[in-house]
Chain A
Amino acid sequence: MIDTPKGLVSPTTATERVAASMAKRKKSERNFQLLGRSAIAVALAFLVVLFFSIFSKGLPGFFQYYVEIEVEIDREKLDPTGDLSLQSLYDGDARGVIRSALYAAVDAEGRKNKRAAGKLISAGAEQRLRELVYDDPSLMDTTQTLRFALDDDVDSFLRGFIKRETPENDRRISDKMVEYIDRLQSDGKIVYAFSDYLIFGSASRNPEMAGIYGAFIGSILTLSVCLVLAFPIGVATAIYLEEIAPKNRITEIIEININNLAAVPSVVFGILGLAVFIGIFGMPRSIPLIGGVVLALMTLPTIIISSRAAIRAVPPSVREAALGVGASQVQTIFHHVIPLAMPGMLTGTIIGMAQALGETAPLLMIGMVAFIVDVPGGVTDPGTVLPVQIFMWADFAERMFVQKTSAAIIVLLAFLITMNAAAIIVRKKLERRW
C-alpha cells in the first residue's frame, strides 16, 4: 500500500487487524489474572502466617501447669471463729495449710528450703482453698488431693522458657526450686491442664491467675451500649437524610461532615468522650457506659453511610408502586424501603460493631485501661474491654503473659466471628429472595 488508508478499513483488513491484536489482548488478560492471583496468594500467605503465629502461641495459653498435693483441711487453722463465715476464713491461715501440704510433698526442711518450696505455688492457691471449703463445708477435717496453679515462673520453666542451663543468679527460680520441681514431676504431681483462670479469672498481677472474664463482660456491656445507641440513631439518620430531608445546602453540609467523621481517627473520639462526659458531665472514668457512647459516636458514620447506600439501592419502582396505591411517605418507607434495605443496613452495623469491638485507643482516653480486678456488674461499674486487656498484657514483662495475650486474641477473634455469624444468620432471615 502506497497511500495511507483513510476512514473505514475494509472488512478483510479489519479481520486481519483484529486477529493480529488478539495475541496482545490475551497476553494482557493473562498477566492481569496472574497479578490478581499472586496478590491473593500473598494475602493468604500472610493470613496463614498470622493465624499460625497466633494459634501456636495462643493455644498453649489456654493451658497451664498445676500441682496436685494432699492437703489436710484443718478446721481450726482455716476457720478460727468456727462459723464458716468469709471473714473467719480470711482470718484463718489458708496459706499455712497449703504451705505445710507442699512442704510435706517435697520434704522441705529448714527456713531457706521452705521459702523455696513456698515460691512454687501461685498466690491464688489460698483463695481457691477458701472458696472450696466455703462452698462445701463437709470437706473440713478431711484430707483431699487438691489441684493448685503453679507460679508463673515455674510454669515458664516447665515450658522451657526459663532454661536449666542458665546460671542460678540469672534466672528467676533457684536451684532448690528446680530440685523440688523435678521431684514433684517425678512423683507425677505436676499436671498440665486447661486453664480455668484464663476464662474465669480477671485482671491480676500474677500472670498465672490473670484471665479475661472481666474484660469479656466489659466488652459485652460496652458493645451493648454502642449497639443500642448507634443502630437506631444511625438508621434513623440515614432514612431521614435519604428519604425525607430536602436536598439543600444544610443537608449537604451535614452529609459532608458525616463522611468526614468516618475518617476521623478513633482516638479523637476518645478525647471527645474524656472532655465531654468526664470533663463536663463529671461522669466516672473507666465505665462501659461512656465507652459504649464513645464507640457509638465512632460507629455512627459507618452505619449511616452504609445504610444510606442500602436505601439508595432500593429500586425506585418499589417506591412508585407504593405511592401509586396511595401509601403515604412514611408507609412507603416503613413497609417497603426499610425491609428491602435492612440487610444492607445490618451489614454496615456489623462492620461498625466489629470495628468497635477491636477498638483500643478511644477507650484508653476515657480510662478503660485501668487495672480493675472486679468483673463489671453493669454499665456504670468500672471495667475494661478485651482489646485493652490484650494491650495491657502485651506490655507486661512476665513470659506467661505472652501466651495469655495470644490466648486472649484468640478469644477476641472467636467473639468477632460469633458476632458476625449471628449477624449473617439474622441477615439471611431478613433477606427474602424474590
Chain B
Amino acid sequence: MEDGKMVEPQKVDAPVRPDIDLAKLPNATIGDIYVENPRMTARQVRVNYGDKTAIEDVSLDIGGSEVISFIGPSGCGKSTFLRCLNRMNDTIKTCKVSGDIRLNGGDIYAPDVDVVPLRARVGMVFQKPNPFPKSIFDNVAYGPKIHGLADNTGHLKQIVQEALERAGLWSEVHNRLDDPGTGLSGGQQQRLCIARAIAVSPEIILMDEPCSALDPIATARIEQLIHELSSEYSIVIVTHSLQQAARVSKRTAYFHLGRLVEVGLTDKLFMKPQHEMTNNYITGRFG
C-alpha cells in the first residue's frame, strides 16, 4: 500500500497539465487528489451526453495497488467517470469526453490510441454479473486467447487456474470447468467475471457496483477478494454502500451532481468530512 500513500500536494511532481491551477478553479475538489507515483491521472475531465453535461472538472490520481471507492448519490457521475478510465463510454454514440486521462503517463484519449490494449490493461467488472454464455473455462480463457497471452494449451490452462484461484473460485468449480458460466450462483458469477478480468493481467480493475446484485454473504466474499487483490492491482470501485466503501477502500472520492466534491483517505473522509455536502451524504441526510 506504499504507492497509495497520501502525500501533501506540494510534494507531488508537477500536474500532468501544469497550465491548469486546480486550486483556483471555482469548484475545486476538497482534499488530496494526488498520490505519489500514480498509475492513472485524470485532469479536468468533462463528459457530455449530447447537450447534457454528466461530469465536469474531475481531476483525480489513482495510485498503484490502492483501492479507491467512488461514492455519491445516483446520477452523480461516478459510473460515468469510471467508464472514462477504460473508454467504455466509447460505445455510447452521443458521449463526448474531454480533459486529460493518462495511464502510466500515456494519454488514453490520444487519437492514435487503440482501446483494445487499453482495456486489456484496465479491466472491468460490471454491476450485473455478465459471464459469457460459454463454459466456465472459456469465460476465463477468452481474454488470454484473444490477446495471445498463452504460449500453448497447457499455459492457457495454468492461466485459467491461477485466475480462478485468485478470484477464490477454483475450489468451487475446478471439477466442472466445462459447465456453463451462467449456471453458477450470482456471487460465483461475479467472481467468475473478476477471474475473467484478472486473466488478462490488468494493472487496474474497475468495478461498477459489483455487489449490488448480490446477497450479503456473496458480498462479503467479493469484499474479501478485493482486499486480497489490492496487493497486486489498483482497484477502483463504485459503490452505493458507504459501509462497503469504508470496509474495502483506502481512499474514497465523493461525487455530487457531476463534480468530484471531496476525496481523501477513507477514515478521514468518513470521520471528518471537509465539505458540507459530503457530511450530509455520509450522515444520511440526503442521497
> Is B126 within 8 A of A317, CB to CB?
yes
> Is A340 within 8 A of B119, CB to CB?
no
Q: A321 with B128: in contact, given A247-B93, A326-B117, A434-B183 (CB under 8 Å)?
A: no
- Is B197 on the interface with A (CB-CB < 8 A)? yes
- Is B131 on the interface with A (CB-CB < 8 A)? yes
> Is B88 within 8 A of A320, CB to CB?
yes
- Is A259 on the interface with B (CB-CB < 8 A)? no
Within 8 A of B (CB), among A338-396: 340
> Is A328 within 8 A of B116, CB to CB?
yes
> Is A317 within 8 A of B119, CB to CB?
no
> Is A318 within 8 A of B91, CB to CB?
no
- Is A95 on the interface with B (CB-CB < 8 A)? no
Query: Which of A246, A247, A317, A336 is most buried by chain B, counting CB atoms within 10 A of its CB?
Result: A317
> Nearest chain-A residue to B126 (Cβ)?
A320
Q: Identify which of A246, A324, A432 contacts B119 (C-beta below 8 A).
A: A324
- Is A19 on the interface with B (CB-CB < 8 A)? no
Q: A326 with B143: in contact, given A246-B93, A320-B88, A321-B193 (CB under 8 Å)?
A: yes
Q: CA–CA, A363 to B123, complex, Å?
A: 56
When distances are taken between beta carbons in the complex, the residues of chain A under 8 Å from B182 are 434
- Is B156 on the interface with A (CB-CB < 8 A)? no
Q: Mark B107-143, 1 if CB is under 8 A from A, else 0.
A: 0000000011111100111101011111000000011
> Is A317 within 8 A of B128, CB to CB?
yes
A246 to chain B, nearest CB (A): 7
Query: Which of B123, B146, B147, B197 is most buried by chain A, counting CB atoms within 10 A of its CB?
Result: B146
> Nearest chain-B residue to A433 (Cβ)?
B180
Tell me the interface secondary structure of chain B in the complex: helix
* Number of A-B residue pairs having CB atoms within 8 Å of each other in the complex: 72
A124 to chain B, nearest CB (A): 59
When distances are taken between beta carbons in the complex, the residues of chain B under 8 Å from A30 are none
Q: Identify which of A247, A324, A432 contacts B124 (C-beta below 8 A).
A: A324
Q: A324 with B123: in contact, given A317-B130, A318-B132, A434-B182 (CB under 8 Å)?
A: yes
- Is A309 on the interface with B (CB-CB < 8 A)? no
Query: Which of B88, B132, B182 is most buried by chain A, counting CB atoms within 10 A of its CB?
Result: B132
Q: A324 with B88: in contact, given A317-B128, A331-B146 (CB under 8 Å)?
A: yes
> Is B143 within 8 A of A325, CB to CB?
yes
Q: CA–CA, A233 to B86, complex, Å?
A: 34
Q: CA–CA, A326 to B88, complex, Å?
A: 10
Question: Chain B contact residues (Cβ within 8 angstroms of A): what range?
Answer: 20 to 34
Q: CA–CA, A30 to B190, complex, Å?
A: 46
B26 to chain A, nearest CB (A): 35
> Is B142 within 8 A of A335, CB to CB?
yes
Q: Identify which of A247, A315, A323, A432 contacts B91 (C-beta below 8 A).
A: A323
Q: A336 with B132: in contact, given A325-B196, A326-B200, A327-B146 (CB under 8 Å)?
A: yes
> Is B197 within 8 A of A324, CB to CB?
yes
Q: CA–CA, A335 to B116, complex, Å?
A: 15
When distances are taken between beta carbons in the complex, the residues of chain B under 8 Å from A327 are 116, 142, 146
Q: CA–CA, A51 to B133, complex, Å?
A: 42
Tell me the interface secondary structure of chain A in the complex: helix
Within 8 A of B (CB), among A292-344: 315, 317-328, 331, 335-336, 340
Q: Mark B87-102, 1 if CB is under 8 A from A, else 0.
A: 0100101000000000
Q: CA–CA, A432 to B264, complex, Å?
A: 48
When distances are taken between beta carbons in the complex, the residues of chain B under 8 Å from A315 are 130
> Is B128 within 8 A of A434, CB to CB?
no
Q: CA–CA, A335 to B119, complex, Å?
A: 17
> Nearest chain-A residue to B197 (Cβ)?
A325
B147 to chain A, nearest CB (A): 6
Q: Mark A217-253, 1 if CB is under 8 A from B, else 0.
A: 0000000000000000000000000000011000000
Within 8 A of A (CB), among B150-187: 180-183
When distances are taken between beta carbons in the complex, the residues of chain B under 8 Å from A328 are 116
**Interchain Cβ contacts under 8 Å between A and B, 23 examples:** A246-B93, A315-B130, A317-B126, A317-B130, A318-B133, A321-B130, A321-B131, A321-B193, A322-B142, A323-B88, A323-B91, A323-B119, A324-B88, A324-B119, A324-B125, A325-B123, A325-B197, A325-B199, A326-B200, A331-B146, A336-B132, A340-B133, A434-B133
> Which are the 7 A-B pairs with shortest beta-carbon distances?
A326-B120, A317-B130, A326-B119, A324-B124, A325-B143, A434-B180, A434-B133
Since A322-B142, A325-B119, A340-B133 are in contact, a sample of 5 more A-B pairs with Cβ atoms closer than 8 Å, ordered by chain A residue number, is: A317-B126, A318-B133, A321-B193, A323-B91, A325-B123
